[in-house]
Amino acid sequence: MRIPIPMYALGAAAAMALLAGCSGATSTVAPAVGAMSRSSTHNYQGNRVPMLAAPSFQSLMHPGKPGAMHAFMSRDAAGITPTVYVSQFNTSSIQVYRQGGTNQNPIGTITNGLVNPQNMFVTSNNDIYVANTGANNILVFHKGATAAYKTLDDSGQYPVDVTVDSGGTVYASNIFDTNFGPGSVSVYAPGSLTVTSTLAVPNNAKVLFCALDKFHNLYVNYIDINSGVGAMVKFKKGKGAAQLTNVATNFPGGMEFDQLGRLAALDQITATIGAYRLPGGTPVFSIISTGDTVSMKFTKTRSFVYVSDGVAGAVYQYDYKNGTQVDTISASLGASAGASGVAADPGAPI
């Protein structure tokens, strides 16, 4: 997770060359996850952050041995047992975990086709959509599969987050394009493997996370190019011109809508999840998290929320009602790999 952070403070050409050299790769990879991390706010302001070593390119090209994906021992409220997915930018992999149990080992690993994956989205039928940043695409996996069955092309862009509407429309937020131009949102009509339209986010230095409400409105957060802090826009019914919202954060993190229709949104600087009753811009309550809180996802019932820590390399589970931390996932993660994105599938009653 730390690899791309100091790169962003440099010029585009120097950033790409140095990053490729660190990984041992001959191809260029976007320093996107650093821009998603709160630590990169300091880079955005010009401060220096130390760089850690990267795994070799060769190691990224040898998939691990996936474990069997089986029933899980712990449950969400109402007897739901989700699978938890944790993406790792630096190792180009996704670790798969059962819910519950501190420092447990992953039950499976996905590596095929992954190049610096970041945030993910799981549909109601358990398909996993992955913002595959370094390969400029969105990969789609069936539950339990280690190879994607579908690829959505996002050529010319570096996608960092993805969300899917109940009608099948896919939205991918692009931190910036491959020429380091402004970020945007790529839209894929149901069934399309190529971009069918693009949504413009005005005045952005980088576009970050996206989320849909139950009315099919798309919300996108970003760093404002003028103020250097987080802002958010709304696209009514997922199209048209961006409408600026009242939500402003120090540095935006992941976001989703809770069971009462409030927007739960991370602020990476304060390490909090704020619950916003839109259009209001002040949280009605907040959950205090820890570390470099990058991404968040609810369980199906919205009773619990998972938060990924991009620096410590852990995922924390919180009771959404009272903010109590109830679980930590950290095995096979760590500071050199980090937890870039997190997702939980709906699971099944047992």
User: 220 and 87 in one domain?
Assistant: yes
User: 320 and 173 in one domain?
Assistant: yes
d(CA 169, CA 238) in angstroms, rounded, equals 9
User: 29 and 157 in one domain?
Assistant: no
User: 320 and 251 in one domain?
Assistant: yes
User: 261 and 242 in one domain?
Assistant: yes
The tally of domains found in the chain comes to: 2
User: 131 and 23 in one domain?
Assistant: no
Among 100-104, 294-298, 328-332, top mean pLDDT goes to 294-298
pLDDT in tens, 47-95: 222 222 222 222 222 222 233 333 223 344 444 566 899 999 999 999 9
- What confidence score (pLDDT) does residue 170 get? 98
Range of the domain at 126: 58-344
What CATH code is carried by the domain that includes residue 266?
Answer: 2.120.10.30
For residues 268 and 335, which has the higher predicted lDDT (pLDDT)? 268
- What confidence score (pLDDT) does residue 66 get? 30
User: 65 and 49 in one domain?
Assistant: no
Res 181 pLDDT > 90: yes
The reply to whether 1 falls in a domain is: no
Res 350 pLDDT > 60: no
User: 46 and 126 in one domain?
Assistant: no
User: 133 and 220 in one domain?
Assistant: yes
User: 129 and 87 in one domain?
Assistant: yes
The reply to whether 350 falls in a domain is: no
